[in-house]
Amino acid sequence: MKKVFVTNKMPDKIVEELRRHFEIDYFESDDALSESELANRASDADAIFCPLSTKITKDIIDAGENLKIIANFGAGFDNIDHSYAKEKNIPVTNTPAKSSTTSTSEYAVGLILAATRRMVSGDKMLREGKFIGWKPTFYLGNELYGKTVGIIGMGSIGTRVAKLLKAFGVNLIYYNRTRLDEKLEQELEIEYMELDDVIANSDIITLHLAFSSELHHLINMEKMKMMKPDAILINAARGPLIDEAALVDALEAGMFRAVALDVYEFEPKVTEGLLKYDRVILSPHLGNTTVEAREEMGFIAVDNIKDVLLDGVEPRNKIN
């Protein structure tokens, strides 16, 4: 029987499905195994099934002498040395689940609402006993209606965010490396602009890019200075898109009405300077943390493993 090394705790239904078809070496924990432990347990595995938080390096790949597939649990795959895996003819797969798109886009809109209406700091203020009753000028936020929202990255999540935001009566602009077709732009009532123009003209900027090395620190101090002084910045995509040291400096200088982050440059570590500002919402990477999304993602990963180990065909979600 083929052996699958599962590097972290997974939803029960997914583990049950794996057990029906394979021998599994299951590290049933949310903690992280060391690189040497990962390499040791990969040594006799036919497949590695890992979450986005597990780094699969060249040394781990080399240790897996029987390795035939690395199935990532997540739409991203920058945690895996997929180029080296390709050199060794080992497919790497991801899980582009529709429910993940739905969950992440809903969460991004939630962050926008929380930032504009000061929900998180308001909760904290009340718990500290500072709520003294309704007043005409007490704890004012802003409504979304009529604001300009700039979406950077118009893949499935960015497009879904645009569809959801239409209901709020916002003005939508976007930047994407590949422009949408005219019909979809008209359907979404969204206008294409170059990146710097989106940054300069948006009241709210929300990032929905897949990360690649050329996008490291896409939002740096130069870009932040282009933004409106009271802009709101949302990142529910990938942490390294933002230079967090520059972001702290910008906050210190009084820039931004609010910032809401669900991902971090050095995740799970959060840059310390971000912790002291009430106008910064810090969320522990909850974008697609729904039962629906995680189960769909898990079954996609299992299907990729079955493709290779049971059916001997190319996996349906190969990325390398």
**Model confidence over 154-180: pLDDT tens digits?**
999 999 999 999 999 999 999 999 999
Structure tokens at 223: 């870009």
What is the per-residue pLDDT across 184-205, written as a single tens digit (0 to 9) for each?
A: 999 999 999 999 999 999 999 9
Catalytic residue among 82, 238, 257, 294: 238
List b or e across 25-63, with b for residues whose CB sees 16 or more CB atoms inside 10 angstroms.
bbbeeeebbeeeebbebbeebbbbbbbbebebeeebbeb
Concerning whether 257 is annotated as a catalytic residue, the answer is: no
Concerning whether 106 is annotated as a catalytic residue, the answer is: no
The pLDDT confidence band at residue 210, using thresholds 50, 70 and 90, is confident
Strands (DSSP E) along 52-118, which ranges?
A: 69-73, 92-93
Catalytic residue among 35, 187, 267, 295: 267
CB distance 171 to 149 below 8 Å: yes
Res 264: pLDDT: 97
Alpha helices in 22-77 (DSSP H): 35-42, 58-63
Mean pLDDT of 116-135: 96
Catalytic residue among 187, 285, 292, 295: 285
When the candidates are 3.40.630.10, 3.40.50.720, 3.40.50.40, 3.10.50.40, the CATH number that belongs to 99-282 is: 3.40.50.720
Concerning whether 82 is annotated as a catalytic residue, the answer is: no
- In the chain, where does the domain assigned CATH 3.40.50.720 lie? 3-97+291-309, 99-282
When the candidates are 3.30.530.20, 3.40.50.11140, 3.10.105.10, 3.40.50.720, the CATH number that belongs to 3-97+291-309 is: 3.40.50.720
Structure tokens at 68: 């035939």
Res 78: pLDDT: 85
CB distance 113 to 167 below 8 Å: no
